[in-house]
Structure 1
């Protein structure tokens, strides 16, 4: 194999004994990747160092489980320190797969590598290649610049609105690029545009350029507005929010014959959609990003007939009386429905420091903001929060940043984060956890440059130079637009079933488990007062609410 620098991303095979087998298997990738072979841990380290120095990207590193000059774990750690963005696979020969699995599989739980696979024994081992292509796809969506941009934004750099739109497009699974107005590409895109050159301008494949002033403008162009629904039509079910609960409701509702509409204020997936990698969701042993999980669920619901409208916050819900439909109001139009499921989830709490709020989008981010990670290579970043979302964000950022510090008000993460994430964080030498701490100030010239961190034990403030601040501060339901008829607890979460005050029960019988105090209006997922704040739990509630909707519609 050629050792000259390549513009193609590399796949590196560390194969001291079975290079012929792995080369044969990876021949299918050679048109789009430069496949290189090394024979030892040291040779692999040298190859990775040269690739980094030459500016070549390494998408995937596949190693045999036994190396002549190093134990597997130290070798993986050394390679990771050279190129942390490469996905890492251990492929064990079938003669000692079971023997090595006992020693190596625990490393998956601490993030030492991404997959432990049985080396193929013949042609068309698609189970093996499914794992490989999933990892390459994950690398391509989070590390590499898109080869083909589904949308292009013509704008000078440093525009806050452009940053917001690109984040929305990333969460919707649409690769995008920013084009300089003075470039030849911009002139090509604007060849048929006859409007004012009021940047930014949005161009989508198959459509001309247009001016926009909000994320909603872009969302409505792509996905339409609720007003597009026939005003004389009453749908069976309208779902408010397209997080895991809302998506599950849409899939099960539309698959069982209900005409279903989903209205989402931001991007499909809600907070879960911003997660760089969810590793404990049932059925995805190698993990799946929140964006991919959300878009798969959306496509599944669309297959059954669900209509989605994104970028339209609900402004009011008017319960139907005496058999009349419920009315859901948005600035883009109203939807009338026989039943409503509220699955709007929760919103991250704001930090409330003016200097930092002014820098949102310019180094300061609420949520994981996966798309921002690429810009932080070689810089120090801080993640504030102790939940699973904060842990997932820190692990993803550690692939790019020089250092990642997790700040929490508690002494440590043990009370708020899943054990598998804590172990992965402890193994990763890029990440450190600082307990009993909070951000109290920050600033910078045009973008974030520093924050002030208070030690809650000593009350001392320490200034820290950082390029990124990711705020995952816990969450509030943010559904003050609900009518008073729908009972909520003291924090604003929606009450359902037996949690509703008894004086509101009809005939002494409590509403159904996921039904609110208003017949025909239900709630599922994180917006409910006593729900478990987990993706799988929200999905389960979304599926469970559909039989209750059917029962209500059958009795109405």
Structure 2
């Protein structure tokens, strides 16, 4: 397979563009087009040769088309390619105001100043970010950390790939009779049983669950070896839990995180978060989570993954709280509940039977790559649904967002609504619900109902992605921790007055049990946004400090 291409589009400044991309020529097929028409023809030739385009880089003015119109045509040919404008320094300030608005609608990914000489590292930082995002979403990544061998793309195989994607480990599925498949089979003893998983520099395993793969990569969970009391036990490794761990550990508190699945929580499945402070070009949920994890590790946080918390025993009169898992217990002077939420079930029985084989809860980044040239549906009106639809549109022939409401404005950020309106592959069906579906061995059709008229319609569908809103999963909490009627944890002034102490409510992120706090989506009244969850995770640490200040005598740290 040929190297992926970078197509430079410039009439007046071809030499500067080529000089700026010289360092990429060893690993990318860098081509030059002098007009939009030539860029379209070059792209046609690349695709006809069996290649693909990773990046289109155009100067801000083209001789035969407005640059954003040209990008629109190029996206129709290669929807997975990233697109950037590299304006010449004579035109950077002039063209910027009119063009930058297009970024908010997803018309392109970055507006940069053309390289001004060798080692313009600010420019190259943006380029490598874009190429990295492209590489993490292509169906067959070049650099593979884990090889999977399976004759079928079943729910288990997809679940394994999804877990690996969320952990930032690129993988590829090989048929048994392929070169990659035979390579793995040569390292397997006995009769093959699929799927076989070959993690880098580790023995080949037959995986019967995602947990088998996690154990192969990170080792089997062992009984928690904490024979001392820690300052903070954080339950959940999403944005709120990671932020709490970073700030607590950086201030010298002994901190552990207990996470049942992949680090990052629901946010870790987001293809691109564009409104997170400090990332003007956006950042994928996976990368945000892994950066936060590495940051927490740097300050000394200990991570225990695959640890499902099934109970918390509150401590009173100076005794520590006890967080219980099936592998042991953690004694902690304070506990931060940051376990997040799960997507609400659709509860349409025929579709529940197809989960993993055409029906998916959440963004399912891995499944998106299986949707090439197919018709898919996204159910949900929040930002997660919008991000999933935009990402799916890179692969699917059509993406339909299904919502009960008359529009998206009440539940989705405007920048996403604008991006959806601009994308010709995405449509929105309002006042509609999914009431039926089926297929022979996988999803093939859906039944849709108009909530106003009751009229039903059957439509072909290859994929259904359900992002229906939040349901708390915290039945493991003790009754002493108050929750609202939906099961979310109550904190601060939301706590019923009869549970206040001396006529005063708990602190804003404190629960009804002293020393137990809640942050992020699990908390009643939270915003259900990545940034707000991170903010609450950071904000809870001063409250933890205040609680720990009068440390009981004799406590072992």
Q: Give a deviation string over 1:522-550, Cα, whole Å, max 9, x none.
A: 10011110211111111011001111112
CA-CA distance at 1:215 after TM superposition: 1.9
Q: Give a deviation string over 1:478-533, Cα, whole Å, max 9, x none.
A: 11111100000001110112222223223333222211111111100111102111
2:38 counterpart residue number: 43
- Partners of 2:210 and 2:162 in 1: how far apart? 10
- Partners of 2:146 and 2:279 in 1: how far apart? 29
Work out whether 1:204 is the aligned partner of 2:187: no
- Partners of 1:459 and 1:386 in 2: how far apart? 20
1:229 counterpart residue number: 224
1:19 counterpart residue number: 14
Alignment of 1:177-326 (within 5 A): 177-183=172-178, 185-189=180-184, 191=186, 193-194=188-189, 197-224=192-219, 227-326=222-321
Query: Which of 512, 526, 529 is the aligned partner of 1:531?
Result: 526
Alignment of 1:279-428 (within 5 A): 279-428=274-423
- Partners of 1:108 and 1:452 in 2: how far apart? 36
Instruction: Go from structure 1 to structure 2 and tell me whether the alpha carbon gap of 1:429 and 1:185 turns closer, same or farther (over 3 Å shift).
Output: closer
SS in 2 for 1:432: strand
Q: Which structure 2 segments of 5+ residues have no match?
A: 552-557
2:127 counterpart residue number: 132
- Partners of 2:103 and 2:115 in 1: how far apart? 20
Instruction: Go from structure 1 to structure 2 and tell me whether the alpha carbon gap of 1:78 and 1:191 turns closer, same or farther (over 3 Å shift).
Output: closer
2:445 counterpart residue number: 450
Q: Give a deviation string over 1:447-483, Cα, whole Å, max 9, x none.
A: 1111011111221111110111100001111111111
Work out whether 1:546 is the aligned partner of 2:541: yes
CA-CA distance at 1:115 after TM superposition: 0.6
SS in 1 for 2:231: strand
Alignment of 1:56-135 (within 5 A): 56-135=51-130
- Partners of 2:196 and 2:367 in 1: how far apart? 21
Alignment of 1:441-480 (within 5 A): 441-480=436-475
- Partners of 1:27 and 1:253 in 2: how far apart? 44
TM-score, scaled to structure 2: 0.96
Contact 1:225 1:312 in 2 (8 A): no
1:497 counterpart residue number: 492
- Partners of 1:294 and 1:71 in 2: how far apart? 38
Query: Which of 158, 167, 170 is the aligned partner of 1:172?
Result: 167
CA-CA distance at 1:104 after TM superposition: 0.9
CA-CA distance at 1:160 after TM superposition: 2.0
- Partners of 1:521 and 1:61 in 2: how far apart? 51
Query: Which of 478, 484, 488 is the aligned partner of 2:479?
Result: 484
CA-CA distance at 1:292 after TM superposition: 0.6
TM-score, scaled to structure 1: 0.96
- Partners of 1:434 and 1:254 in 2: how far apart? 47
Q: Which structure 1 segments of 5+ residues have no match?
A: 1-5
- Partners of 1:400 and 1:440 in 2: how far apart? 26
- Partners of 2:302 and 2:24 in 1: how far apart? 37
Deviates more, 1:307-316 or 1:378-387: 307-316
Instruction: Go from structure 1 to structure 2 and tell me whether the alpha carbon gap of 1:124 and 1:375 turns closer, same or farther (over 3 Å shift).
Output: same
- Partners of 2:316 and 2:401 in 1: how far apart? 50
Q: How many residues align?
A: 551
CA-CA distance at 1:318 after TM superposition: 1.2
- Partners of 2:72 and 2:180 in 1: how far apart? 42
2:136 counterpart residue number: 141
- Partners of 1:64 and 1:102 in 2: how far apart? 15
SS in 1 for 2:161: helix
Contact 2:224 2:327 in 1 (8 A): no
Q: Give a deviation string over 1:172-192, Cα, whole Å, max 9, x none.
A: 111122233455544544556
CA-CA distance at 1:53 after TM superposition: 2.6
Contact 2:154 2:356 in 1 (8 A): no
- Partners of 2:56 and 2:465 in 1: how far apart? 29
Q: Give a deviation string over 1:416-449, Cα, whole Å, max 9, x none.
A: 1001111111111111111000100111111111
Deviates more, 1:198-207 or 1:252-261: 198-207
Deviates more, 1:287-296 or 1:151-160: 151-160
Contact 1:436 1:457 in 2 (8 A): yes
Contact 2:221 2:306 in 1 (8 A): no
Instruction: Go from structure 1 to structure 2 and tell me whether the alpha carbon gap of 1:69 and 1:181 turns closer, same or farther (over 3 Å shift).
Output: closer
Contact 2:199 2:216 in 1 (8 A): no
- Partners of 1:182 and 1:329 in 2: how far apart? 46
- Please identify runs of 4+ aligned residues in structure 1 that moved more than 6 A: none
Deviates more, 1:257-266 or 1:225-234: 225-234
CA-CA distance at 1:552 after TM superposition: 1.1
Work out whether 1:8 is the aligned partner of 2:3: yes
CA-CA distance at 1:120 after TM superposition: 1.5
2:555 counterpart residue number: none
Contact 1:444 1:450 in 2 (8 A): yes
Q: Give a deviation string over 1:233-270, Cα, whole Å, max 9, x none.
A: 22221111111100101111111112211111221111
Contact 1:215 1:311 in 2 (8 A): no
SS in 2 for 1:105: helix
1:509 counterpart residue number: 504
